[in-house]
């Protein structure tokens, strides 16, 4: 296993982390304890020392905590979980959720604690108004929280604002070779690293879509270029992320001991700088085939932002393109995230009033209002529109 150093704490973290959200289960909220034990024990024995869970993953914290206790592995890992800040209405909610998390995880401290799913600076400002900064300081003083950070799913233009809103220790962003201009993107990765923060990566394979759901032409590119440890789309995708010096660790949602072993083998060989010009060219060629499915030539530059009516324009276009490159359901899932539907201020394509303030700033000369109407027709048809608006009104 290769290890990289967290610049804030000096912790030596495995370059491959275990995302526990996808531990198999019998039903929603009931992860399989045997599967959890198999996956977690395999991960730790291969040298993985970072485990990520969250309050909002049904049943997940409890099974992770029970497994670590049963296997006597708590002291061998850095444990990360996340605060459901959107559910915090009063200052005492911070303690209420955190104490429950400690009980579930059967521990007296959390090594890496995150504000879960930050999509806009306003979300942080809201909990700041409830006194969360003083609460974090108190938990750190008591040793109950070691490192504090946030996971981000907002727009590129908002990411630096969140970075500078607090003295964070680390951040977690979505990043892969198909998302260099999506959400925080490459610019955000470099901005966080420049600030001396550890940067953890989620969705390095887009939830498996860059592993098993590639366009056939992209798959053929990887097959033809196979060599060394780069023999599968998984190896190409993970190695591309690890090739970036700003990346501290990437999370993989491994669902079996076999996947752990496979990803760990890749991690041992995908060292910083191990992908040269030739290998990076292969990834770009494959990406070209993926992007051929893109219907809107948006680069995610965010020159069109901010929208005066709150529309996350780059996020809407990325979701629309994903609905063709991968599947309609994939597009809707990304649209759900990009729209910040649970914040009470959704950024839906239907918010567009056609004012055209965005169009004159677009270097790609996209007719943005017209294409947002395309997004609405494809990703917000009748039933979906009703569900999204019902969720926004909760």
Tens digit of each residue's pLDDT (9 = 90 or more) over 200-231: 999 999 878 788 878 888 999 999 999 999 99
pTM of the model: 0.79
Across the range 333-344, mean pLDDT stands at 71
Judged by average pLDDT, the poorest of 164-178, 252-266, 301-315 is: 301-315
Q: In what helix (H) or strand (E) does residue 269 lie, and over which residues does it extend? A: helix 257-269
Tens of pLDDT, residue by residue over 177-208, are 988 888 899 999 999 999 999 999 999 998 78
Residue 201 and residue 240 in contact, taking contact as beta carbons nearer than 8 Å: no
Q: Is the pLDDT of residue 344 over 70?
A: no
**Most confident of the ranges 98-107, 152-161, 332-341:** 98-107
pLDDT at 251: 97
Query: From CA 380, how far away is CA 378, in angstroms rounded?
Result: 6
pLDDT at 393: 57
Distances (CA, A) of 170 to 132, 148, 161: 17, 7, 15
CA 301 to chain centre: 19
The pLDDT confidence band at residue 306, using thresholds 50, 70 and 90, is confident
Q: Is the pLDDT of residue 70 over 70?
A: yes
| Three-state SS at 132 | helix
Q: Is the pLDDT of residue 355 over 70?
A: yes
pLDDT at 275: 93
Q: In what helix (H) or strand (E) does residue 30 lie, and over which residues does it extend? A: strand 30-31
Q: Can you give the residue ranges of every domain in the chain?
A: 3-283, 313-392
In the predicted model, what is the mean pLDDT of the chain? 90
Q: Is the pLDDT of residue 141 over 60?
A: yes
pLDDT at 388: 63
Q: Select from 15, 33, 14 the least CA-distant residue to 23.
A: 33
Tens of pLDDT, residue by residue over 20-33, are 988 888 666 688 99
The pLDDT confidence band at residue 89, using thresholds 50, 70 and 90, is very high
DSSP-assigned letter for residue 307: P
Tens of pLDDT, residue by residue over 250-277, are 999 999 999 999 999 999 999 988 899 9
Residue 348 phi/psi, 5-degree rounding, is -75, 155
Q: Is the pLDDT of residue 45 over 90?
A: yes
What is the dihedral sign for C-alpha 265, 269, 272, 278?
negative
Crossing angle, helix 313-325 and helix 277-291, to 10 degrees?
90
CA atoms within 13 A on the CB side of 388: 25
Query: From CA 240, how far away is CA 190, in angstroms rounded?
Result: 15
Percentage, residues of the chain above pLDDT 70: 93
Distances (CA, A) of 212 to 6, 173, 237, 320, 329: 31, 22, 11, 20, 16
Q: Select from 28, 366, 315 the least CA-distant residue to 174.
A: 315
Query: From CA 233, how far away is CA 213, in angstroms rounded?
Result: 10
| Three-state SS at 67 | helix
At 372, list the tokens.
């947002």
Query: From CA 284, how far away is CA 211, in angstroms rounded?
Result: 16
At 63, list the tokens.
């099974």
| Three-state SS at 4 | strand
Residue 29 phi/psi, 5-degree rounding, is 85, 5
Across the range 19-46, mean pLDDT stands at 89
DSSP-assigned letter for residue 360: G
The pLDDT confidence band at residue 341, using thresholds 50, 70 and 90, is low
Residue 40 phi/psi, 5-degree rounding, is -70, -40
DSSP-assigned letter for residue 306: S
Query: From CA 223, how far away is CA 65, in angstroms rounded?
Result: 40
Topology of domain 3-283, per CATH? Answer: TIM Barrel (3.20.20)
Strand partners, 149: 114, 170
Q: Select from 148, 159, 167, 208 the least CA-distant residue to 184.
A: 159
SS (H, E, C) 144-213: CEEEEEEEECCCCCCHHHHHCCCCCCEEEEECCCCCCCCCCHHHHHHHHHHCCCEEEEECCCHHHHHHHC
């Amino acid at each position: 296993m290769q290890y990289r150093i967290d610049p804030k704490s000096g912790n030596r973290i495995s370059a491959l982390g275990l995302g526990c959200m996808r531990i198999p289960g019998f039903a929603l909220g009931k992860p399989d304890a045997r599967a959890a034990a198999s996956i977690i024990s395999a991960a730790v024995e291969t040298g993985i020392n970072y485990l990520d869970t969250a309050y909002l993953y049904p049943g997940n914290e409890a099974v992770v905590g029970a497994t670590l206790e049963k296997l006597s592995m708590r002291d061998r890992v850095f444990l990360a979980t996340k605060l459901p800040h959107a559910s915090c209405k009063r200052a005492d909610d911070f303690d209420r959720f955190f104490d429950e998390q400690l009980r579930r995880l059967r521990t007296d401290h959390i090594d890496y604690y995150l504000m879960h799913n930050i999509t806009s600076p306003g979300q942080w400002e809201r909990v700041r108004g409830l006194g969360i900064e003083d609460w974090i300081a108190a938990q750190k003083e008591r040793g109950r929280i070691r490192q504090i950070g946030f996971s981000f799913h907002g727009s590129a233009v908002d990411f630096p604002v969140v970075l500078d809103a607090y003295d964070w220790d680390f951040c977690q962003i979505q990043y892969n070779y198909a998302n260099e201009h999506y959400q925080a993107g490459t610019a955000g990765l470099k901005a966080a690293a420049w600030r001396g923060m550890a940067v953890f990566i989620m969705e390095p394979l887009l939830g498996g879509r860059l592993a098993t759901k590639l366009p056939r032409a992209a798959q053929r590119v990887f097959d033809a270029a196979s060599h060394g440890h780069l023999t599968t789309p998984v190896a190409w995708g993970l190695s591309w992320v690890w090739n970036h010096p700003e990346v501290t660790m990437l999370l993989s949602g491994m669902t079996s001991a076999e996947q752990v072993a496979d990803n760990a083998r890749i991690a041992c060989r995908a060292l910083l700088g191990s992908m040269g010009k030739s290998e990076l060219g292969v990834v770009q060629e494959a990406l070209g085939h993926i992007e051929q499915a893109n219907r809107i030539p948006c680069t995610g530059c965010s020159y069109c932002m901010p929208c005066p009516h709150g529309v996350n324009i780059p996020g809407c276009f990325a979701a629309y393109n994903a609905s063709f490159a991968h599947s309609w359901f994939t597009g809707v899932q990304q649209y759900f995230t990009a729209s910040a539907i649970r914040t009470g201020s959704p950024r839906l394509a239907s918010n567009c009033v056609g004012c055209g303030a965005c169009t004159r700033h677009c270097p790609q000369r996209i007719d943005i209002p017209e294409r947002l109407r395309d997004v609405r027709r494809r990703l917000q048809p009748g039933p979906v529109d009703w569900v999204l608006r019902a969720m926004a009104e909760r």
